[in-house]
Amino acid sequence: MLIKIMLGLIGLGIVVFVHELGHFIAARLSGIDVEAFSIGWGKPIFSKVFHGVEYRIGIFPVGGYCHMKGETEFKEALTNNDIAIPREPGTFYGASPLKRILTAFAGPFANVIFAVLVLSLVWAIGFDVQTLDNKIVLASEIEGKTFPADEAGLQTGDRIIAINGKPVSNYSEIQEQIAPNPGQTLQLLVERNGEQIPITVKPQLDTDTGAGRIGIYFWTDPVIETVKAGSPAQLAGLMKGDRIVSVQGMPLPYSVALYKVLKDRPSILQLNIERNGEFFNKELILSYDDQGQTNIGLEFKTIRYRAVAHSIPEAFVKGASESWKTFTVSIKSLAVLFKGVNLSKAVSGPVRITYMVGDIAAEGFGQSFGAGFTAIASFLSLISISLCIMNLLPIPALDGGLIILFFIELITRKPLHPKAVYWFQMLGALFIFSLLIFSVFGDIMFLFGKK
C-alpha cells in the first residue's frame, strides 16, 4: 500500500508540475514576475531562490502553484476602497488582459502537450497489449437480470466484429466504442455460426462509472495463467496451465461463470481440473470480506500482442491522435455526470487518483519495466488531459473562469473592479472546496472498500 501511494504521489506530482510549469513559462514570457514556484502545498520542506524565483517543495506533495507577483493585489485594492486594481510593471494585473489570458491558458495547454509527448514516446518504443477476445458472454447469465444486449438479440458465443462500420477484434476496441456512448444507438456486426448478423443496440448508463454498458462479458477459456502466492488457489495446489472443467459439479465453459458460483459465497469451492490430460479434484477454502468479496488468487489466460515501435513522425501522429481521442471521450464523460451518475463513485478526488496511479504503476512494474512505464505513461496522459479540461471549465478561481474574466476586460476595455474579482474568486474557492470535500469523502469510501 505504501509503495503504491508513493508511486501515485510521484506520478500526480509530475502532471501538476507540468501544469504549473506552463503557467510559469507563459508568465515569464509575458513579463510577469514569478515570486514562488512550488510542487505541493503546505509548509515548504525545500526552498531555494534562483534568479529571483523561490522554488519550493511543499510538505503535502499533491498539487502545487505558481505564485505571480501582484496576483492578490485586488484584495489590497478592496481594502483601500480603490475602484481599480493597481497596474504596476511586472505584476500579474499590470500585464495586459491578453497576456493574462495566455498565462492562464498555458497551464492546461502544457498538460495537452505533455500527454501528446508521453503517448508519442510510448508509440516510439512500442508496447505490449493485454486484452480479451471479441467473443462475448451475456451478463444476464451471470447476474440474472436483463440488459440491452439481451433485448438486442445478442447471444453468448457471438463475436462482435464491427461497431458502426469500424472493425473490432478484441475487448479493448469494443469498450472504446461502447463506454463513451451511453444512450446512443450503435450498429453492431456479429459473427454467429459462420454468419454475419447486423444488430442494433443502445448502451445503458452505468451510474457507478458514468460509462455505457450493454451487458456483456468477454469469453475467456478457464485456463489458469497465474496463481497468486499464498492464495486459496495455491494452497489447493492449482498451477499455471490447469484447465478448470467444472465447479461444484457444474461444467465451466468460460471463466466468468466461476464468479456466478462465488456470488453464493461457498465456504468450500470444489473444482475438477485437467492437467496434461489427467483430471484432478481440488478444494479451495474461501473467506469473504465485509462486502462479500473473495480473492481466490487466479488469473486466466488473456490475449497478448506487441504494438511495434513506430518512427518518430509516425509516433507523434499516433500520440496526437490518441490524445485527441482521450480529450473527446473526457468531454463526453463530463456531460454524462449530469445524467444521473452516482457522483460519489464516478468522481475521483486526489486520494483515489493517487491510489489509482500507484496501483497501475505497481502492477505494471511487477510485470516488467516496459509494461510499468507504458501503463503509468498512459494513465498520466489521461489525468493530464482531464486536468486540462477541468481547469478550462468556466468556474471562478479555475483557469477557465479567469480567462472569461480577463476576456470581458479585453472586450469592454474597462479595468476590473476589485469587488468583482474578489467575489468571483470567493465563489470559485467555495465551489472547489465543496467539490474537494465531496470527492475526498468518496475516496475514503473507495479505500475502505479496498481493505
For the chain, what are the domain ranges?
136-218, 224-301
Distances (CA, A) of 282 to 23, 247, 266: 61, 10, 14
In this prediction, residue 234 carries a pLDDT of 92
Q: Where are the beta strands (DSSP E) in 132-285?
A: 136-138, 159-163, 166-167, 186-192, 195-201, 204-205, 212-213, 216-218, 224-227, 243-247, 250-251, 268-275, 278-285
Band of the pLDDT at 62, cuts 50, 70, 90?
low
Banded pLDDT at 252 (limits 50, 70, 90) = very high
179 pLDDT above the threshold of 90? no
Distance CA 291, CA 451 (A): 10
May I ask the CATH class of domain 136-218? mainly beta
- Residue 367 pLDDT > 60: no
- pLDDT value, residue 43: 84
Compute the distance between CA of residue 218 and CA of residue 223 in angstroms, rounded to an integer. Answer: 14
pLDDT(351) > 60: no
409 is a catalytic site residue:
no
What pLDDT does residue 293 have?
A: 80
pLDDT, tens digit, 9 for 90 and up, residues 190-219: 999 999 999 999 998 877 666 788 999 989
pLDDT recorded at residue 372? 56
Q: What's the confidence (pLDDT) of residue 74?
A: 73
Do 136-218 and 224-301 fold alike per CATH?
A: yes
Annotated catalytic residue within 20, 73, 322, 409? 20
What local confidence, expressed as pLDDT, does residue 80 receive? 72
- The class (CATH top level) of 224-301 is mainly beta
First to last CA, the chain: 10
Q: What is the DSSP string of 225-267?
A: EEE-TTSHHHHTT--TT-EEEEETTEE-SSTTHHHHHHTT--S
Q: What is the pTM of this model?
A: 0.68
What integer pLDDT is reported at residue 120 of this predicted model? 92
* Tens-place pLDDT, residues 276-327: 999 999 999 988 877 778 888 888 888 777 777 889 999 999 889 888 887 8
Does 9 score more than 70 pLDDT?
A: no
So what's the pLDDT on residue 359?
44
The three-point CA angle 136-138-140 to 5° equals: 165
Choose between 168 and 181: higher pLDDT: 168
